[in-house]
Amino acid sequence: MKKTSTRLADGRELVYYDLRDDTVRDAVDRRPLERTVTTSEIRRDPLLGDSVAVASHRQGRTYHPPADECPLCPSRGERLSEIPDSSYDVVVFENRFPSLAGDSGRCEVVCFTSDHDASFADLTEQQAALVLDAWTDRTSELSHLPSVRQVFCFENRGAEIGVTLGHPHGQIYAYPFVTPRTSLMLGQVAAHKEATVGENLFDAILERELAGERVVLESEHWVAFVPYVAHWPYEVHLYPRRRVPDLLALDDAARTEFPKVYLELLRRFDRIFGEGEPPTPYIAAWHQAPFGTLDEFDGVSRDDFALHLELFTIRRTSGKLKFLAGSESGMSVFINDVPPERAAERLREVASS
Instruction: Give catalytic residues, as residue numbers.
Output: 169
**Contacting residues for 191 by C-beta, under 8 A, at least 6 apart:** none
How many Å apart are CA 179 and CA 94, to the nearest integer? 21
User: Angle at CA 59, nearest 5°, toward 87 and 111?
Assistant: 20
CA 5, CA 18: separation in Å to the nearest integer?
Answer: 11
* Cα 108 from Cα 227, distance rounded (Å): 30
Spatial distance between the Cα atoms of 104 and 173, rounded to a whole number of angstroms: 11
Strand ranges of the sheet holding 215-218, from the earlier edge strand across to the other edge: 2-7, 13-18, 90-94, 106-111, 169-175, 150-157, 282-287, 308-313, 234-240, 222-225, 215-218
Question: Which residues does 163 contact at the CB level (< 8 Å), separation at least 6?
Answer: 156, 157
Of 227, 226, 225, 217, whose CA–CA distance to 261 is shortest?
217
- What is the rounded distance in angstroms from the CA atom of residue 77 to the CA atom of residue 220? 47
Q: In 10 A of CB 206, how many CB atoms?
A: 20
Q: Measured between alpha carbons, how far is 204 from 202 in angstroms, rounded to an integer?
A: 5
Q: State phi, psi for 241 to the nearest 5 degrees.
A: -65, -35
- CA gap 102, 100 in Å, rounded: 7
| Residues 178 and 42 sit within 8 Å (Cβ to Cβ) | no
Backbone φ and ψ for 267, nearest 5 degrees, come out as -70, -35
Buried/exposed 270-283: b ≥16 CB within 10 Å, e otherwise:
bbbbeeeeeebbbb
Q: Which one-letter DSSP state was computed for residue 36?
A: P
